[in-house]
Amino acid sequence: MTLEEKKQEIIEEFALYDEWLDKYQYLIELGHNLDPFPEEEKTEENTIKGCQSRVWLISEKKDGKLLFRADSDAIITKGIISLLVSVYSGRTPEEIAADDFGFIGAIGLRENLSPTRANGLVSMIERMKEIAGQSRQ
Amino acid sequence: MKLTQIRAQFPVLDSQVYGKPLVYLDNAATAQRPLSVEASWKQSVEQGNANIHRAVHYLAGVATDAYENAREAVRAYLNASAKEEIVFTAGATAGINLVAYAFGEAFVGEGDEIIVSVAEHHSNLVPWQLLCRRKKAVLKVLDIAPDGSLPVESLEKLISERTKIIAISHISNVLGLVNPVREMVEVCHKHNVPVLVDGAQGIVHCAVDVQALDCDFYAFSGHKIYAATGTGVLYGKKKWLEAMPPFLSGGEMIHTVRFSGTTFAPLPQKFEAGTQNINAVPTLVPALAFARECRENPEVEAEQEAILDYVYKQLTEDERITLYGVPRGTKVPLFSFAVKGVHHEDLALILDKMGIAVRSGQMCAEPLMDRLGVTGLLRASFAPYNTLEEAQYFIQCLNKAINMLV
Ligand SMILES: Cc1ncc(COP(=O)(O)O)c(C=O)c1O
């Protein structure tokens, strides 16, 4: 699936839920199903500090593509992380750097990302872009 | 006033968020403003706006009177012995900074000691840390008991000949317990140590009489007690305020200015430099009148007591929940708690979508969070316009949210 197709798939999935709580329920499920994150990688360096929830992110480059793994101590944030990982992991740095991450808004989660909420997600997206930018050079 | 009439003073309480009735339980962060406060603001802006104390024209007189009436209203509310002891500030933080700076300049030197509790809000902690850094003084920390209360006995053990001041909250914004401030003042005064009380939460839940408390300073913010934002009060005993140098300097706080030297205005103007918050300060009058009305209203009092009883019981009897600040005797309706295996941010996000505004996180008290061994807590704080029905809805939604998350 291309990046665009994957994003479209998630947007359509979320369109099924018009109740906020159903949306959260789904994110909680995604959070629980996210691949386990190695405990030893929960270092200061890999921590993206938000005001409330903590987020961890690691990446590696394989065959020209960036692979991400991430975790959070809060489950809804973890669900959103799981979406980000499923969309962006396995893409080229160019693709990631060029993307505007606007699909988060399209599924109605923009308010979870607004900087005033001060959670780790905004910083996580910035970190993903930064990693993409660096590995492009 | 009936409770319904009190609620009618706050149109936002009738509004909906995400299609659900709004239940506002973040009152410890900031309270809502009643219509009477809005009316005072409007009056000041539309009919009474001029700079105070300076001009001889009519409108300046109106504005100055409104401002000085507010000072008298605050003096009476706190039962301070003189208006000179009431300094208007931008809030509790500003008042505490004023004391940490000016008292520090006058009385704190290298090797001296300052005592705070581990439960202080950053606003009653960082100014003292900075003072200690400036003066090479030492910050000593009073620990809480396991139930969240402050043990007066340990305070006495911390006091030494070098102790210059102690700064303690009347009610912690996390623990929601009325601290034994009167007893602490007594102990401190026995050793000639003055006491600053951070009254940001205390002023909201207690009838404060500064002469009976005998504290040396009492600081609070207007916005937590229904007045306009940007207002605040520092009460200080005259003997201290007189002995302290100015904090901010500029217009209005001077007596004469010459390049050969400047002399300062008498109290309280000495500490009110620059154009003051002239439109907002008069809102303290209806705000404090409202607070008093609520405190003395039997229906409101009964409802608050019922809320306290109910929420306390629900939170302490639920095995999944740990409430911090437990002694029932000194508890106010401000509850911070953790839920086993559940992150406070998740709970707050879900409750938000159910229409409930609660606070989650460290609540500007990181050292306390470390002390309690948590990364943050969920806090529900009630005001006199909240109802038992809202409390019940909150508990019901909390249970639902927990079930979604575990
Ligand atoms: C106990 C306590 N102290 C100080 C403050 C600071 O008040 P402000 O931000 O209004 O200056 C607060 C407000 O959150 C508080 O709860």
Per-domain residue ranges for chain A?
3-135
Q: What is the DSSP string of B102-166?
A: HHHHHH--TT-EEEEETT--GGGTHHHHHHHHHHT-EEEEEPPPTTSPPPHHHHHHH--TTEEEE
CB-based contact B310:B331 (threshold 8 Å): no
Report CA-CA distances (Å) from B399 to A39, A121, B119, B324: 30, 26, 28, 18
Averaged pLDDT of chain B: 96
Assign A70 to helix, strand or coil.
strand
Do B346 and A52 lie within an 8 Å CB cutoff? no
pLDDT digits (tens, 9 = 90+) for B30-87: 999 999 999 999 999 999 999 998 889 999 999 999 999 999 999 999 999 999 999 9
Residue B172 has pLDDT above 80, yes or no: yes
The predicted pLDDT at position A120 comes to 65
Distance separating alpha carbons of residues A103 and A126, to the nearest angstrom? 15
Question: Which is nearest to B169 in space by CA: B216, B121, B217?
Answer: B121
Report, as residue numbers or ranges, the catalytic residues of B. Answer: 364
On whether the CB atoms of residues B325 and B172 are closer than 8 A, the answer is: yes
Beta bridge partner(s), residue B15? none
Give pLDDT, residue B48: 95
Name residue, tokens 């053990």: B157
Is residue B184 within 8 A of residue B168, CB to CB? The reply is yes
Kindly state if the Cβ of B124 falls inside 6 Å of ligand 1: yes
- Judged by CB atoms closer than 8 Å, whether chains meet at B346 and A76 is answered as yes
Q: At what angle do helices B284-296 and B58-78 cross, to 10 degrees?
A: 30
Give the residues across from B171 on adjacent strands.
B178
The CA distance from A64 to A44, in Å, is 27
Cβ pair B137, B108 in contact under 8 A: yes
Q: What is the pLDDT of residue A102?
A: 81
> What ranges in A19-92 are assigned the alpha helix state H?
20-33, 75-88
- Write down how long chain B is: 406
Residues from chain A that touch B350, judged by Cβ atoms under 8 A, are 21, 24, 76
Mean pLDDT of B83-101: 98
Quick one: pLDDT at residue B105?
97
**B353, B337, B344: which is closest to A75 by C-alpha?**
B344
Q: Are B188 and B194 in contact (CB under 8 A)?
A: yes
pLDDT at B138: 98
pLDDT at A137: 62
Q: Are B198 and B95 in contact (CB under 8 A)?
A: no
What digits encode the pLDDT tens for the residues B131-142? 999 999 999 999
* Interchain pair B354, A112: CB under 8 A: no
* Domains of chain B, residue spans: 3-30+297-405, 38-290
Whose C-alpha lies nearest to ligand 1, atom 9?
A: B93
DSSP element (H, E) containing A56: strand A54-62
Nearest to B303 by CA among B208, B382, B395: B382
* Rounded-to-5 percentages of helix, strand, coil across chain B: 45, 20, 35
Cβ contact B114:B132 at 8 Å:
yes
What number of H helices and E strands is found in chain B? 15, 17
pLDDT of residue B98: 98
CATH class for domain B3-30+297-405?
A: alpha beta
Token code pair at residue B377: 């807590």
The 10 Å Cβ neighbour count of residue B403 is: 8
What is the per-residue pLDDT for B261? 86
Task: Find the mean pLDDT for residues B389-405.
Answer: 97
The residue of A18, A20, A32 whose CB has the most chain B CBs within 10 angstroms, and thus the best one to mutate to test that interface, is: A20
Predicted confidence at residue A119, as pLDDT, reads 59
pLDDT in tens, B344-377: 999 999 999 999 999 999 999 999 999 999 999 9
What 3-state DSSP class applies to B198? strand
Determine the 3-state secondary structure of B338 from DSSP: strand
Nearest to B353 among A20, A54, A73 (CB): A20
Q: How far apart are CA B48 and CA B331, in angstroms?
A: 41
| Most confident by average pLDDT, A100-114, B179-193, B256-270 | B179-193
**B-chain residue closest to A79, CA distance:** B346
The pLDDT score that the predictor gives to residue B118 is 98
Which one, of B220, B225, B223, B232, lies nearest residue B276 by Cα?
B232
Ligand 1 atom at minimum distance from B224 CA = 10
pLDDT of residue A135: 87
Q: Please name the helix (run of DSSP H) or strand (run of DSSP E) that holds residue B37, with its range, or none.
A: helix B35-47
Q: What is the pTM of this model?
A: 0.94
Identity at B320, one-letter amino acid code: R
Percent of chain B residues topping a pLDDT of 70: 100
Per-residue pLDDT of chain A (137 residues; tens, 9 = 90+): 899 999 999 999 888 888 889 999 999 999 999 999 999 999 999 998 765 788 899 999 999 999 999 999 999 989 988 999 999 999 999 999 999 888 888 887 766 655 555 556 777 888 898 999 998 76
C-alpha to C-alpha distance for B209 and B217, rounded to whole angstroms: 12
- Percent of chain B at pLDDT above 90? 94
pLDDT (average), residues B259-272 = 91
Query: What ipTM was reported for this prediction?
Result: 0.89
Question: Fold for domain B38-290?
Answer: Aspartate Aminotransferase; domain 2 (3.40.640)
Instruction: Give the per-residue pLDDT at A109.
Output: 78
C-beta separation of B204 from B225 below 8 A: yes
Distance B92 CA to ligand 1 centre (A): 6
Taking phi over 0 as left and psi of -120 to 50 as alpha, with beta for the rest, B373 belongs to: left
Cα B111 to Cα B101, B131, B132, B143, B160: the distances in Å are: 17, 12, 9, 21, 11
How many angstroms separate the CA atoms of B48 and A16, rounded?
A: 56
Question: How do residues B274-284 score in pLDDT, each as one tens digit?
Answer: 999 999 999 99
Q: How far apart are CA B136 and CA B132, in angstroms?
A: 5
Instruction: Domain A3-135: give its CATH code.
Output: 3.90.1010.10
Kindly list the distances between the CA atom of residue B94 and the CA atoms of A60, B232, B331, in Å, as whole numbers in the listed order. 48, 8, 27
Q: Tell me, rounded to whole angstroms, the distance of Cα B7 from its chain centroid.
A: 22
